[in-house]
Amino acid sequence: MIAPYRSTAVFDETTLPDALRREHRTKAGVWGVIRVLEGRLRLERGDGGEAQVLTPEQPGLVLPEQAHRVEPMGRMRMQVDFYDREPPVG
C-alpha cells in the first residue's frame, strides 16, 4: 500500500484557501489525491476537459504538474494527500 508523504489540513467551504480555488499546479513528480470527506467539490483541470464532481465515494487524482482548481458545491470538507508515485484512487 502506498502512503501519502504529506496531507493538507482539512478544509471546509469557508476555510478553503484562495490558492486552491485559483488555477495552480502540483510539482514535478507529485501526485495529488483530493479526498472529499463530506459534501461535494468541483474539480476543473486546466487541460480544458470536463469538470469532475468529487464526493466521499469519488476522489480526484491530480497528475504531476497538472493545472487544476477546485470549487465547493455547498457545504463540504476536504483534504489533499500528496504522493511521490502514482497512488491507487478509489
pLDDT digits (tens, 9 = 90+) for 21-64: 999 999 999 999 999 999 999 999 987 778 999 999 999 999 99
- Within 1-90, residue ranges assigned H as helices are 18-21
- Cα 49–50–52 angle (5° rounding)? 125
Measure CA 68 to chain center: 9
| pLDDT one-digit tens code per residue, 71-85 | 999 999 999 999 999
Question: What is residue 43's predicted lDDT score, i.e. its pLDDT?
Answer: 98
Cell 455547498 belongs to which residue?
A: 74
For the entire predicted model, the pTM comes to 0.93
Check residue 48 and give its pLDDT. Answer: 76
What's residue 90's pLDDT?
67
All structural domains of the chain: 6-83 (2.60.120.10)
- Grid coordinates of 50: 470536463
Structural contact between residues 66 and 46, judged by C-beta atoms closer than 8 angstroms: yes
- Per DSSP bridges, beta strands 6-7 and 52-54 are unpaired
